[in-house]
C-alpha cells in the first residue's frame, strides 16, 4: 500500500515557532520599567455621556430633516399627495436664535462634563 505524506499530522507535530533573542524578556521588562498600566477605558468612558451625545446628534439630524421637508417641492413627485399638508407646517418658528443658543449651550455643557470627568480620572491616575 502506498504511503501518504500526512500534512495535517506533520503540521501538528513538526511546525516550529521562531524564538526571539535569549534576552528578549529582559529587554521588554526594561522597556516597561517606567511604564504605568493605563486605567481601563470602561472606567472613564461614561455610557450615559456617550448615549447622550449620540441622542443629541440624532435629534439635530431629525430637526434638520423636519426643517427641510416643508421647503421640498412635492408637486415634482407626481400626483401622490400626503395625508397631511406639509407645506403648511412652519418649523421655522421653532428654529430661531433662541433654540440654536439652547442647543449650543447643551453641547458646551456636555463637553464641560466630559472634560471634568476626564480631569478627575487623570488626577486619580497620577
Partner 1 sequence: MHAGMDDIEIINQVLQGDQQSFEELIKRYQHFVFTIALRYSRNREDAEEIAQDVFVKAYRSLADFRRDAKFSTWLCTIAMNTTKTFLRKVKPRMDPLDPAMVHAQHTGYGANPTEKRSTQLLVNHVIGLLSADDATIITLFYKAEQSIEEIGVIMGLTANAAKVKLHRARLRLKEKLELYFADEIKEILN
Site of interaction with partner 1 (CB under 8 A):
3-5, 7-8, 10-21, 24-25, 27-29, 31-33, 35-43
Report the C-alpha gap between 66 and 60 in whole angstroms. 10
- 8 vs 90 by CB, closer to partner 1: 8
- 77 vs 120 by CB, closer to partner 1: 120
* Min separation Cβ 22 and partner 1, Å: 10
Distance, first Cα to last Cα, the chain = 72
* Min separation Cβ 3 and partner 1, Å: 4
Is residue 90 helix, strand or coil?
A: coil
Report the C-alpha gap between 61 and 80 in whole angstroms. 26
Nearest to 94 by CA among 54, 64, 61, 57: 64
Beta-carbon contacts of residue 33 (< 8 Å; ≥ 6 apart): none
- 28 vs 77 by CB, closer to partner 1: 28
* Min separation Cβ 52 and partner 1, Å: 23
Is residue 101 helix, strand or coil?
A: helix
- 19 vs 83 by CB, closer to partner 1: 19
* Min separation Cβ 106 and partner 1, Å: 31
Amino acid at each position: 500500500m502506498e504511503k501518504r505524506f500526512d500534512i495535517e499530522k506533520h503540521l501538528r507535530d513538526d511546525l516550529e515557532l521562531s524564538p526571539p533573542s535569549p534576552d528578549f524578556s529582559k529587554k521588554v521588562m526594561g522597556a516597561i520599567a517606567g511604564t504605568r498600566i493605563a486605567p481601563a477605558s470602561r472606567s472613564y468612558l461614561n455610557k450615559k455621556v456617550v448615549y447622550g451625545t449620540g441622542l443629541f446628534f440624532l435629534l439635530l439630524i431629525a430637526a434638520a430633516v423636519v426643517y427641510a421637508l416643508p421647503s421640498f417641492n412635492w408637486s415634482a413627485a407626481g400626483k401622490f399627495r400626503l395625508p397631511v399638508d406639509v407645506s403648511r407646517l412652519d418649523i421655522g418658528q421653532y428654529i430661531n436664535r433662541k433654540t440654536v443658543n439652547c442647543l449650543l449651550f447643551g453641547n458646551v455643557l456636555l463637553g464641560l462634563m466630559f472634560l471634568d470627568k476626564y480631569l478627575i480620572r487623570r488626577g486619580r491616575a497620577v
